[in-house]
Amino acid sequence: MTGGLQPAPPDHRLARRRIVACGAGVALWVFFLLPQVAHVASRYEFVESLQFCVFAFVVPCLLVLGAPWRLVGLESFSHVLPTMTGRNRVLVLSAIFVATDIFWRTAFMVDLLARRPLFDGVQAVSFLFIGVAFFSEMVESPPIRPLVSRVQRLVTAAVVMWTTWIMAYLQGMSGHSWYGVFRKVVGRQLSMANDQQLATFSIWLVAAAVFLPIIFSNIIHWLQDEDRLEAKSFSFGGIEH
């Protein structure tokens, strides 16, 4: 027998899950940039909203979970806001991420995306960088680790999710679509009201599917960490007595 600690064996299942997550993110990113998808998104508000959610939330989160950083030669985001503390860095990234969300949901930009599908690529690339930087502070993505505590992560994720839900609610409860381009579509197979409601539901559903696992995962790990600290404190107390 050799002395010393042996390195832990590689977790092949985790490696496979990361490959799947990364591959799914790339595939979704490419699929929603296809001209055929862009054409449908220019006619139906709910498809355009789904496209937005995929670019903003799904793809960046999957890429971060896939952790392909060593493959692309980018093992750290330390060059992003390097002089800031973890808390300030997350606040700035969250503010930029939310501002980008709001910017791409304004009536002017959505109408522009519907009339000029080329801007779908601009939207997709902007979320690719901003979204990846944001989600790298929300979930583990070895060798990159979030700089803030789990409590701060879950609170930040909840605030961003609720902000998205509020925007979708205001959009859905409006008496008419915010986006004039969809009101001018001829030969629709879906009523304007149903299209608007589906758009709201799509944003709620996708945002929940992305952010709720982050929130609950951080809650569970935080509680486990608290239990371990209490157990360690109790054990030390027993030794002292």
pLDDT of the residue at 82 = 52
Per-domain boundaries in the chain: 12-181+190-240
List pLDDT tens digits, range 17-31: 888 999 999 999 999
Residues of the chain with pLDDT under 70: 1-11, 70-86, 175, 186-187, 225-241
Dist CA 166 CA 156 (whole Å): 15
pLDDT tens, position by position, 219-229: 998 888 665 65
pTM of the model: 0.82
> Cα dihedral sign for 31, 36, 42, 45?
negative
Q: Who's near 134: CB < 8 A, 6+ residues apart?
A: 60, 93, 94, 96, 97
CB 43 within 8 A of CB 188: yes
Q: d(Cα 197, Cα 192) in Å, to the nearest integer?
A: 9
Question: What stretch of H or E contains 53?
Answer: helix 45-53
